[in-house]
Amino acid sequence: MNRPSETVDATRRMIVKGTAVLALIGFAGIRFGWSPAFAAANGKYPEDAFKQKSSEDAIKALYGKAAEASDKVKLDAPEIAENGAVVPIGVSTALADVTSISILVADNPNALAASYKIPAGTIPNVASRLKMAKTSNVIAVVEAGGKLYSATKEVKVTVGGCGG
């Protein structure tokens, strides 16, 4: 099968095809049953709270009540996460009698990411590094004097690089 004589234009022609899809590891929505871990010495692992999808349900499962927004809760989170795999989050508060601090990522497959117990004498200021599936609101909840206070901030998350 001969082809029209190769002119310079012919060789310059090129096909751009998005065949090389960035091998972004997909976040399947499958949720696996958590194998029940035995309760650690200091209170049972809030299994149910970690299984909830939405932040509201997770907060209710964890504390049995809803939180109200308060500027007394300081949530330190980046505007654009350098990478969804390592997002530094800091929570601190001036509130008195703090007994617990929790951090939720609203649009993660399961909203509750971490929950910390703050015994008397421990300063209510925690820093940790979380994973975020995509751009989402991060919610910090502080339990103080039996009431729940919260702060929310959106953190943008996307892949890096030029697409591969």
Partner 1 sequence: MSSIMRPLIAVVAVTAAVAAASPLHAASEADFSVAYAAAEAANKQAGALRNQWTTTAATLASAKKAAAEGNFDAAVAASKDAEALAKASIYQANEQKDAWREMEIK
Partner 2 sequence: MASTIRVRATSSGETTEVQTLIQHPMDSGFVKDAKGEVIPPHFIQQLTFEHDGKTVFSADWGGAVAKDPYVKFAFKGGNKGDDLKISWVDNKGASDSTTAKIQ
Partner 3 sequence: MGGRRRGDIGVRSAIRFALGIVALAALLGSASAAETPNPAADAAAFKKFFTDKFPKVKLEDFVNGPYSMDEGLHRQWQEKEQFPPYEFAVETGKEMFSKPFKNGKSYADCFPNQGIGVRQDYPYFDTKGGKVITLELALNQCREANGEPPFSYVKDEMAALTAYMAFTSRGKPFDIKIPDDPRALEAYESGKRYFYTRRGQLNFSCATCHVQSPGERIRAEVLAPALGILNAMPIYRSEWSGMGTTSRRFTTCNSQIRAVPLDPQDDEYRDLEYYLSYVSNGLPIAGPGARP
Question: In the complex, which residues of this chain contact partner 2 (CB under 8 A)?
Answer: 23, 25-28, 30-32, 34-35, 37-38, 40-43, 45-46, 50, 85-87, 105, 108-110, 112-119, 121-123, 125-133
Least CB distance to partner 2 at residue 91 (A)? 10
**Considering only residues 5, 6, 16, 120, which one is a binding residue for partner 3 as defined by CB under 8 A?**
16
Using alpha carbons only, give the angle 63, 155, 25 rounded to the nearest 5 degrees: 95
Which H helix or E strand runs over 148? Answer: strand 147-155
Near partner 1 by CB under 8 A, which window of 14-22, 77-85, 96-104, 139-147?
Answer: 14-22
Q: Sort residue 97 into left (φ over 0), alpha (ψ -120 to 50) or beta.
A: left
Q: Does residue number 154 form part of the binding site for partner 3 (CB under 8 A)?
A: no
By CB under 8 A, is residue 80 in contact with partner 1? no
Torsion of CA 20, 22, 24, 28, to 10 degrees: -50
- Does position 28 interact with partner 1 (CB under 8 A)? The reply is no
Containing 12, the helix (H) or strand (E) segment is helix 8-12
Pick the binder of partner 1 from 4, 5, 7, 15 (CB under 8 A). 15
Helix, strand or coil for residue 112?
strand
